[in-house]
Amino acid sequence: MAGIQNPCLVMTERSGPKAVGRRSWLRWLCWHLFTCRVERMTEVYQGSCLCAAVCYELLTPPTAVSHCHCSQCRKGHGAAFASYASVPRSALRILGGASSIKTYASSETVLREFCAHCGSTLFWSRSQGEFADWVSIALGTLDTPFKPQKQKHVYADSAVHWYTPSKQCPQVD
């Protein structure tokens, strides 16, 4: 083992000769195995609709978290705003209930997918244009814990008057 080179051992050499050796190597190995396990655990995100007829998984963490206050998203969700994050369409895998997913074209280029049995909003996507190969996931349907790095409120001008979004998130119109 002593002959194996790795960057952690080089780093610990700086903190003194005592830090170098089998203990450092074992510490590095444990940390490496732990982080690999954490990465594997958080790689796939699973979600489902209210009645669980539709189940899906995301092969990459969703990005670009946004809370949309536009009237269409509000009505589609029946809520103060809609929370979405996006993945490439190829990273969305429908595990069950594909035939239960219905699509509503809320405008010429926007498709909203929902469960035909329970009405849960599931996905938002564009039928053409720059981001047509991406899909936005209604974050409320995620079952796997998800903590975004950052998030923003969009179309805040259309926001309802009975709820004030957190000032911690930037607002973009």
State the residues that interact with Zn ion by CB under 5 A: 49, 51, 53, 68, 70, 73, 115, 117-118
* Of 10 and 98, CB closest to Zn ion: 98
* Of 45 and 155, CB closest to Zn ion: 155
CB of 51 to Zn ion, least distance (A): 3
* Of 20 and 55, CB closest to Zn ion: 55
- The number of angstroms, rounded, from the C-alpha of 66 to the middle of its chain's C-alpha atoms is 11
Q: How far is the C-alpha of 64 from the C-alpha of 82, rounded, in Å?
A: 13
CA distances from 155 to 30, 37, 94, 112, 135 (A): 46, 39, 30, 18, 19
Q: How far is the C-alpha of 97 from the C-alpha of 55, rounded, in Å?
A: 7
Angle among Cα 90, 153, 118 to the nearest 5 degrees reads 55
CB of 81 to Zn ion, least distance (A): 8
CB of 50 to Zn ion, least distance (A): 5
Structure tokens given for 128: 């053409």
- The number of angstroms, rounded, from the C-alpha of 95 to the middle of its chain's C-alpha atoms is 17
* Of 19 and 51, CB closest to Zn ion: 51
* Of 49 and 65, CB closest to Zn ion: 49
CB of 142 to Zn ion, least distance (A): 15
Q: Which amino acid is at 14?
A: R
Q: How far is the C-alpha of 84 from the C-alpha of 7, rounded, in Å?
A: 39
8-state DSSP, 139? G
8-state DSSP, 155? -
Greatest distance between any 2 Cα atoms in the chain: 67
CB of 7 to Zn ion, least distance (A): 45
